[in-house]
C-alpha cells in the first residue's frame, strides 16, 4: 500500500516515513502544500496523511482538491488545533479522520491501518478467505490455522490482493502501490513475488486464489467467509 | 453589558420638547407683558389727549357771569357730555361757583375737582392717584371789570371704558399668542421627529447587525452623523478583522508550538526501549499547558456582537462528523428540536462545547447519542435555550461528575479525556451565563443539560 505523507516539519516527516516503511508501506514524503497537492492528485495513492498547517497550499485546500477530483482514498489529517470547528471543517471537506499534535506514532499507525481496512470495506482487522486468515492490524497471516511466514514484500502483495479482492490488478498497479517514487524495482520482481506467494499459499492444496490473466495482470478470486 | 436593570434616561424628544416649551412659554409671557404694557400706555395717552380736547372744548364755550359763576352753552360739540351716565364728564370750578356737564346727572359718586393754581394742569387715573381718569387745568379768567378769577376746567372718564378696551385687547392678544405657541410647538415636534429619524435608523441598523442581518451601517446619513456611522463601521470591521487575524495567528502559533512537541514525542517513541515515562509525562504537561493557554487566548477573540447561531443544524454537522469518526463503533446520533432555534454565542464556542460533550457521549456511550434542543425560559427579547445531550452508557453519577469538573479545573489531567472536555465545555457555557447540569438520560446513560439564559 502506498501512503503519501505531507508534513513540513522535516524530522516529523522522516520519523513518520520510517515508522510506516518499517510496516511495509510504500511511503512518499512531501514537505510543502503545492507539491503535496500534485502528488495527492496525480499519483496512485492508497492513503494520505496531511498536515493542515503547510507552506504553499494549506492542508484543507489539498483535501478539498482531492475530493473535488473524486479521488476516494482515505485521508488522515494532522492538526495542531484541537478546535471542533477545524476538525468538523476538515471532515466535511472530505478528511476521514484526524490526529491532534503532539500525537503518538502508534496512534497514527493504528488510524492508518483502520482507515485502509475500512476503505476496503472491512470493519474488523481480521479478514478470512477460505483457509487464509489475515490480521491487517498485527500483520499476522495464518493458513489452515497455522502461522504463515511471509517477507515484508510478500505480505504487501497479499495485503493489496486482500484489500482488492476479485478485482483485476495489473503488474503496473502493484508496482505503483508497493513501491514509492524513489524505488526502481526490476520489471520481473512482481512476477517473482507473486510466484513465491502462490507457493506459500498453495502448499499442495487445491486452493489457488491468485489467478493470472494473460496480458492484464492478476485477480485474487475468493469468497469472503 | 446592555444596561439591563438600569432605568433608561428620558428620551431626547421629551427633553427637547420640555426645554423648548419652557423657553417658548417664558418668551411669550415676556412678549405678552411688554405688549400689554405698551398698549395700556398708548391707551392712557390717547385718553389724556381726548380729555384735553374736552377741556379745551369747555374752555372755548365757558362764560363767567358777574358773580363769577361758570356756565356753558346748552349744547356742546361733544354729545356724550349731554348724555347722562355716558361715562364722559366735565366741569368748571371758580371760588364762587361751579358748573357740571349734564352727563353727571344721576351719577352716585361723581368725580370731584378742587381748584387748581393758575397755569397748572393735572392728569389722574385709577393707578395714578384717583378713581377716575381726569384731566384738569387751572387758569385765571379776566372779568369785564378787569378782575381776574381763578378758574379750573376739568374732564373725566369712567375707567371702566378703558378697562373694557384693555380686556378686549388682552383677550385677542392671549388667543393669538396661544395659537402661535401651539403652532411653534407642533413645528418643533415635527422638526425633532425629522431630526431624530437618522438616529432611529442608526439604532435599527445596529439592531440588524446584532441580529446578524447586516455587517455594517449602510444607510444614507446626514453629514453630522457620518463621522459616527463611519467610526461605528470601522469599529465593526476592525473587530471582525482582528478576530480573524488573531485566530489565524493562534492557529499558526499552535502549529509552531505543537509540531516540535510532536517531533519530540515521536522521537522518544522511536528510541530503543520506547519513551521514558518521566519525559513522556513532561511532554504531556507541556501539551496540556499549551492547549490551555491557546484556549484562554482564543476566548479573547470573542466578538461583542454575536450573531445568532442555529443550534440544531450545528449539532447535526457535529453528529455527521462524529459518525465518521466513530464508524467502527457504529455510534448512532439522533438530533431533535426546532431547527430555527438560535443562541447568541460565537459559533466556534458553541461547536466547541457541543463537540466536547457529544464526543464524550459517543466515547462513553454504548452506541446511541441523543441531542435534544428546546426553548428555555421566556425573556423580553428572546427566550433561553436548553440543549440536552444523552447517551446509553453507564452514566456518570453526581459525585464523579463534580470530580470530573474539578479535575479539569485543577489542570492536573495528564490524559485528554472526559475531564478536560467537560471542563472546557463548562468554562465556555459559564462565559455565556449558561449552566451545565447532570440529568437523567432517557437512554439510560449520562444526560448533560446545557441551559442558556433568556435575553
A107 close to B (CB below 8 A): no
Task: Provide, as residue numbers in chain A, all residues whose Cβ is less than 8 Å from the Cβ of B352.
Answer: 83-85
**pLDDT tens digit sequence for B342-353:** 888 888 889 989
pLDDT for the residue B5: 44
The pairing of beta strand A26-30 with beta strand A2-6: parallel
DSSP of B310-361, one letter per residue? EHHHHHHHHHHHHHHHTTTTT-EEEEEE-TT-EE-S-HHHHHHHHHHHHHHH
Whether B398 and B438 have beta carbons less than 8 Å apart is answered as yes
What's phi and psi for A143, nearest 5 deg?
Answer: -125, 125
A118:B269 CB<8 A: no
Bigger pLDDT: B5 vs B268: B268
Digit-coded pLDDT (tens) for A112-147: 998 988 888 777 778 888 888 888 878 889 988 888
pTM: 0.64
d(CA B115, CA B138): 7
Range of lowest pLDDT (B131-140, B293-302, B349-358): B293-302
Is residue A102 less than 8 Å (CB to CB) from chain B? yes
Of A9, A82, A86, the CB nearest to B259: A9
**3-state SS string over A6-47?**
ECCCHHHHHHHHHHHHHCCCEEEEECCHHHHHHHHHHCCCCE
Residue closest to B60 by CA, chosen among B92, B100, B104, B98: B92
Is B328–A12 a contact, with Cβ atoms under 8 angstroms apart? no
Say if A104 is an interface residue toward chain B (CB within 8 Å): yes
Q: Is B314 an 8 Å CB contact of chain A?
A: no
- The rounded distance, in Å, linking the Cα atoms of A149 and A139 is 11
Using CB atoms, which residue from A11, A84, A101 is nearest to B258? Answer: A101
Chain B residue numbers touching A18 (CB-CB < 8 A):
270
**Residue B127, pLDDT score:** 62
| d(CA A123, nearest CA chain B) in Å | 6
Alpha-carbon Rg for chain A, nearest whole angstrom, is 18
What's residue B76's pLDDT? Answer: 77
Question: With the CA atoms of B302, B305, B307 and B312 taken in that order, what torsion angle do they form, in degrees rounded to the nearest 10?
Answer: 50
- Could you give the CA distance from residue B85 to residue B72 in angstroms, rounded to a whole number? 19
Helix boundaries (H) for B220-276: 226-270
Mutate to test the interface with A, among B243, B255, B333 (most CBs of A within 10 A): B255
Residues of chain B contacting A100 with CB distance shorter than 8 Å = 258
CA dihedral angle for residue B222, residue B226, residue B227, residue B229, rounded to 10 degrees: 130
- What digits encode the pLDDT tens for the residues B227-278? 989 998 998 888 888 878 887 888 788 888 888 888 888 888 777 666 677 8
Instruction: Name B436's bridge partners.
Output: B450
Handedness of CA B44, B46, B52, B55 (dihedral sign): negative
Classify burial at B398, counting beta carbons within 10 Å of its beta carbon; exposed 0-12, middle 13-18, buried 19 or more: exposed
Beta carbons of A92 and B352 less than 8 Å apart: no
Average pLDDT over residues B156-170: 90
Distance from the Cα of residue A173 to its chain's centroid: 13
Question: How many Å apart are CA B392 and CA B166, to the nearest integer?
Answer: 97
Whether the Cβ atoms of residue A14 and residue B267 lie closer than 8 Å to each other = no
Amino acid at each position: 500500500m502506498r501512503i503519501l505523507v505531507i508534513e513540513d516539519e522535516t524530522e516529523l516527516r522522516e520519523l513518520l516515513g520510517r515508522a510506516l516503511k518499517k510496516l511495509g508501506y510504500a511511503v512518499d514524503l512531501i514537505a510543502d502544500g503545492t507539491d503535496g497537492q500534485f502528488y495527492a492528485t496525480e499519483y496512485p495513492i492508497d492513503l494520505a496523511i496531511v498536515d493542515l498547517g503547510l507552506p504553499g497550499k494549506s492542508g484543507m485546500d489539498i483535501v478539498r482538491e482531492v475530493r473535488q477530483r473524486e479521488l476516494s482514498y482515505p485521508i488522515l489529517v494532522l492538526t495542531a488545533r484541537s478546535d471542533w470547528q477545524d476538525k468538523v471543517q476538515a471532515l466535511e471537506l472530505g478528511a476521514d479522520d484526524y490526529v491532534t499534535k503532539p500525537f503518538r506514532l502508534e496512534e497514527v499507525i493504528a488510524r492508518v491501518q483502520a482507515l485502509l481496512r475500512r476503505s476496503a470495506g472491512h470493519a474488523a482487522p481480521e479478514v478470512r478467505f477460505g483457509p487464509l486468515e489475515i490480521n491487517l492490524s498485527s500483520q499476522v497471516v495464518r493458513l489452515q490455522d497455522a502461522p504463515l511466514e511471509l517477507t515484508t514484500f510478500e505480505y504487501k502483495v497479499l495485503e493489496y490482493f486482500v484489500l482488492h479482492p476479485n478485482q483485476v490488478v495489473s503488474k503496473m498497479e502493484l508496482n505503483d502501490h508497493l513501491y514509492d517514487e524513489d524505488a526502481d524495482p526490476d520489471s520481473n520482481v512482481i512476477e517473482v513475488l507473486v510466484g513465491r506467494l502462490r507457493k506459500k499459499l498453495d502448499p499442495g492444496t487445491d486452493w489457488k486464489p491468485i489467478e493470472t490473466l494473460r496480458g492484464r495482470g492478476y485477480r485474487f478470486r475468493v469468497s469472503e467467509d | 453589558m446592555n444596561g439591563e436593570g438600569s432605568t433608561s434616561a428620558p428620551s431626547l424628544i421629551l427633553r427637547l420638547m420640555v426645554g423648548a416649551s419652557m423657553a417658548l412659554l417664558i418668551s411669550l409671557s415676556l412678549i405678552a407683558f411688554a405688549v400689554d404694557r405698551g398698549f395700556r400706555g398708548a391707551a392712557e395717552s390717547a385718553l389724556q389727549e381726548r380729555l384735553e380736547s374736552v377741556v379745551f372744548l369747555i374752555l372755548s364755550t365757558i362764560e363767567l357771569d358777574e358773580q363769577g359763576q361758570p356756565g356753558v352753552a346748552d349744547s356742546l360739540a361733544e354729545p356724550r357730555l349731554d348724555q347722562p351716565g355716558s361715562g364722559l364728564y366735565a366741569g368748571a370750578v371758580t371760588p364762587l361757583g361751579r358748573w357740571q356737564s349734564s352727563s353727571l346727572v344721576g351719577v352716585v359718586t361723581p368725580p370731584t375737582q378742587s381748584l387748581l393754581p393758575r397755569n397748572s394742569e393735572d392728569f389722574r387715573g385709577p393707578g395714578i392717584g384717583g378713581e377716575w381718569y381726569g384731566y384738569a387745568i387751572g387758569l385765571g379768567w379776566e372779568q369785564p371789570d378787569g378782575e381776574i378769577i381763578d378758574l379750573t376746567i376739568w374732564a373725566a372718564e369712567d375707567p371702566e371704558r378703558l378697562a373694557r378696551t384693555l380686556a378686549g385687547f388682552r383677550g385677542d392678544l392671549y388667543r393669538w399668542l396661544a395659537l402661535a405657541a401651539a403652532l411653534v410647538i407642533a413645528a418643533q415636534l415635527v422638526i425633532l421627529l425629522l431630526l431624530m429619524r437618522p438616529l432611529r435608523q442608526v439604532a435599527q441598523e445596529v439592531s440588524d447587525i446584532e441580529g446578524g442581518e447586516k455587517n455594517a451601517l449602510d444607510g444614507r446619513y446626514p453629514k453630522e452623523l457620518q463621522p459616527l456611522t463611519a467610526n461605528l463601521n470601522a469599529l465593526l470591521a476592525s473587530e471582525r478583522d482582528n478576530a480573524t487575524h488573531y485566530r489565524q495567528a493562534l492557529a499558526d502559533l499552535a502549529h509552531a508550538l505543537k509540531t516540535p512537541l510532536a517531533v519530540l514525542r515521536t522521537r522518544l517513541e522511536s528510541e530503543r526501549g520506547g519513551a521514558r515515562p518521566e519525559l513522556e509525562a513532561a511532554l504531556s504537561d507541556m501539551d496540556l499547558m499549551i492547549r490551555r493557554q491557546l484556549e484562554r487566548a482564543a476566548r479573547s477573540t470573542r466578538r461583542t456582537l454575536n450573531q445568532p447561531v442555529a443550534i440544531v443544524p450545528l449539532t447535526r454537522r457535529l453528529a455527521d462528523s462524529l459518525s465518521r469518526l466513530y464508524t467502527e463503533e457504529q455510534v448512532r446520533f439522533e438530533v431533535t428540536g426546532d431547527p430555527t432555534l438560535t443562541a447568541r454565542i460565537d459559533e466556534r464556542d458553541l461547536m466547541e462545547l457541543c463537540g466536547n460533550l457529544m464526543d464524550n457521549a459517543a466515547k462513553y456511550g454504548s452506541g446511541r447519542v441523543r441531542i435534544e434542543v428546546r426553548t428555555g425560559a421566556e425573556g423580553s427579547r428572546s427566550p433561553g435555550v436548553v440543549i440536552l445531550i444523552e447517551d446509553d452508557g453507564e452514566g456518570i453519577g453526581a459525585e464523579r461528575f463534580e470530580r470530573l469538573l474539578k479535575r479539569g479545573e485543577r489542570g492536573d489531567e495528564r490524559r485528554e479525556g472526559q475531564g478536560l472536555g467537560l471542563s472546557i465545555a463548562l468554562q465556555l457555557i459559564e462565559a455565556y451565563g449558561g449552566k451545565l447540569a447532570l440529568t437523567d438520560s432517557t437512554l439510560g446513560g449520562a444526560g448533560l443539560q446545557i441551559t442558556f439564559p433568556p435575553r
